[in-house]
Amino acid sequence: MNSLIATEVMVACNGLKQVGRFWWFSFYFETIFEGFMLATLSRVKQIAAAMLVVSAVLCGGLIRADGTSAITPAQKKLLVWHFDQCSYNALGSVLTYFYGPGPVITNVNRDAFEKKTFFDPLNSTGYGGYYGWAPWTSKMVDSGRMVWNGHRVTNLIGANFSLATHLVPKVLIGRVKQTHQYVFFARVAFEKGERHRLIARLQRQLQKGPVLIWTPYAAVLDGNNRDMQWHQVKRMSPGHYLVPFSPQLTHAVAVFAIPHSNKVLVVDGSDLHGVYQTSASTVVCTAAAMSASVRLKLGGGTIISRCGDMYSDRFDVVFYKPKHAAFMPLMPLQYRAQALGALAKAGANRASLAAGYGLLPPNQRSALSFLIGNMPLNDLKTLSGNYLAIDVALAYQAMAPRPWHSHVSNRIFLQYVLPYANLDEKRDGWRKQLGPMCQRLVAGCRSAGAAALMLNKKLFPLLHVSYDAQKRPIPNESPSQSILSHYDSCTGLSILLADACRSVGVPARIVGTPMWAVHRGDANGNNAGNHTWVEIWDGQWHVLGASEVSPLDKTWFLRNASLAYGARLKLIDGIYAHRIYTAVFKRKPITPGNWFPMVWDLNDHTVYADDVSADYDHRELVSVRVAGSGKAATSVVLVLHRQGRLVANLSVHGRVKLWLSAGGHYAAQVRLAGKTSRKTIVVPQKAPFAVELSVP
């Protein structure tokens, strides 16, 4: 009798392996099967029944009309990981899909396993503070440090994508009369055709592999509404859907395609009810509702703030193994997902770009992946791998030991030293031309600020380049074009100065406004004047006018720039006209405020940007004292962020002066000997401008 039941169970397991992509669930049953011959007959029957039920569910045999399965809570325990974080549970289901079963998790080994498997890999990428957030599961996989079922996770890609709507969902608050409790709903509004586009996007991603989505907690895990789970979306009117919502509480689930079906399978490892079959539309609406938590301000404050470089609507992650390519063994794990996605768009130039990996030493290949993953489409199709490899090698040479390089993190290097261009200027090999000359000019400089000032003072006379908006041939000249013509606009001068700084390892970026917010203008009321300048990094960002002989942060246009943050938002040709933007070399959603407005070609949205208007609002030199840092035996590091952007990162010995906005809120971290203290600081509105922190 025992052997008969065991045979039935093995048949169920083997049959399950044949159900399209659901072979991976068989590990639950095979693990139990190993102990069958030692179990009692009643226990064997119970386990066999559970396995056959789950097998039937995954084959589509036991699904209720409302989309929920008929598995009992006891049987569904077979599908539950019981990790501490829902994102770990969802990622566990994904890893099981690709690599088979993980270990048996108990209260004894849970914490140690989670730390080694999830937290440590994420922490190695610099995202440790957000270890429980679903979008960061892609960072865990990309770290190359995960091990699952004895397999090192090195051939899996986690790519973030967006199921968010263009319109931010509105939060509606109601009250239940019987209990007097408040309930929240997110009203998701789709623009014409948008819901179908997002459904198609989800289905395309599911063709690659499982998808992990981030959701409001109440939408999918409300203990009082079990019957509503994954049947929870209500259509209010055409294009408007209502989704249960929970401020500050989020959840994560894994979604799988069902072969030969327009339904999808949701696996919720945090829930005893575990497995649901639902429509792709329900998944899209639920995922879209999540953007109400991150993008919407409720009660005067952001519910969940933006952190790191994760864009506010790329919450969802698709996991897949890329097709084999000859250059894959040479590609480091870091930035591999972005690079592979970009190479797929490079067309005939793909092979040339990929050949660049073979021209670089292993420690420089991740930089090439960063460039390929973020470069504009036209560059993807035209620049060769040889061109990029030479430029990457010269960028690393520029980082030869100099006094200021201790302030340059890898992230700052990738964004503001490595890129081969600033805006849409001609791509030329400026590092070869400027590098030797600029290195001689800054030979005696002891700081990045001093080096930038020296270049600004000496370089332009040396090259015989000066400002003349009438004589310059084009507004966006590259360094070689500026040297040839001898005349430049403020944009061309800024490009030349920024590239000169980068050629000696001084991080630099282009900043500008398409239209000053000053009270003068033409007969139509349009305010006059655009301008472009440079910021350089020396532990914090400093302002510098190209070809101007003035100290850092003392240039003539700061008064004009200070008016941008308080100016009325004026949308002209798809841009906010009076804002201050800085060009960044990273892909972002194409929405107003996310691209650099180049006034000579406002239709060109290929240069991404951050809006830094707030950093110029009431800009004051603030004294920041870190109590106890003067007595510390080791270095005390102060890190400041504002609105998710890095403002300062430098060593402190007692007191330091920083350019901050009066009345501004900053997220401060003080690091000492592996310990970190965190605090939100508010700069005083008026003098004395002083802030005090303490060591951890």
Phi, psi (deg, nearest 5) at residue 280: -65, -30
Of 44-53, 90-99, 127-136, 313-322, where does mean pLDDT reach its minimum?
A: 44-53
Amino acid at 16: L
Which of residues 552, 583, 615 is at a domain's end? 615
pLDDT in tens, 434-447: 999 999 999 989 99
Q: Which residue has the higher pLDDT, 496 or 1?
A: 496
Q: Are residues 166 and 265 in the same domain?
A: yes
Q: Are residues 550 and 583 in the same domain?
A: yes
CB neighbour class for 348 (10 Å; exposed up to 12, middle 13-18, buried from 19): exposed
The pLDDT confidence band at residue 177, using thresholds 50, 70 and 90, is: low
Q: Which residue has the higher pLDDT, 340 or 67?
A: 340
CATH number for 679: 2.60.40.10
The pLDDT confidence band at residue 198, using thresholds 50, 70 and 90, is: very high
Residue among 304, 369, 301 nearest 334 (CA): 369
Residue among 458, 420, 423 nearest 439 (CA): 458
Chain-wide mean pLDDT for the chain? 78
Residue 314 has pLDDT above 90, yes or no: no
Mean pLDDT on 417-423? 95
Q: Are residues 299 and 151 in the same domain?
A: yes
Q: Are residues 630 and 646 in the same domain?
A: yes
Residue 588 has pLDDT above 80, yes or no: no
Residue 196 has pLDDT above 90, yes or no: yes
| Spatial contact of 254 and 90, defined as CB atoms under 8 Å apart | yes
Tokens at 644, concatenated? 């998710």
Q: Are residues 96 and 48 in the same domain?
A: no
Q: Are residues 262 and 292 in the same domain?
A: yes
Q: Which residue has the higher pLDDT, 402 or 56?
A: 402
Residue 77 lies in a domain: no
Residue 670 lies in a domain: yes
Q: Are residues 556 and 630 in the same domain?
A: no
Residue 358 lies in a domain: no
Alpha helix positions (H), 157-268: 194-208, 217-220
Look at the chain and report how many structural domains it folds into: 4
Q: Are residues 44 and 193 in the same domain?
A: no
Domain enclosing residue 56, as ranges? 2-62
Residue 6 has pLDDT above 90, yes or no: no
Count CB-CB contacts under 10 A for residue 496. Answer: 30
Residue 328 lies in a domain: no
Residue 350 lies in a domain: no
Q: Which residue has the higher pLDDT, 49 or 495?
A: 495
pLDDT in tens, 200-221: 999 999 998 999 998 888 877 6
Residue 390 lies in a domain: no
pLDDT for the residue 339: 85
Phi, psi (deg, nearest 5) at residue 30: -65, -35
Q: Are residues 32 and 159 in the same domain?
A: no
| CA distances from residue 189 to 138, 172, 238 in whole angstroms, order as listed | 28, 13, 9
Which of residues 300, 318, 336 is at a domain's end? 318
Q: Are residues 187 and 262 in the same domain?
A: yes
Residue 81 lies in a domain: no
CATH number for 609: 3.10.620
Residue 325 lies in a domain: no
Q: Are residues 434 and 512 in the same domain?
A: yes
Residue 33 has pLDDT above 50, yes or no: no
Which of residues 289, 318, 347 is at a domain's end? 318
Q: Are residues 438 and 522 in the same domain?
A: yes
pTM as predicted: 0.63
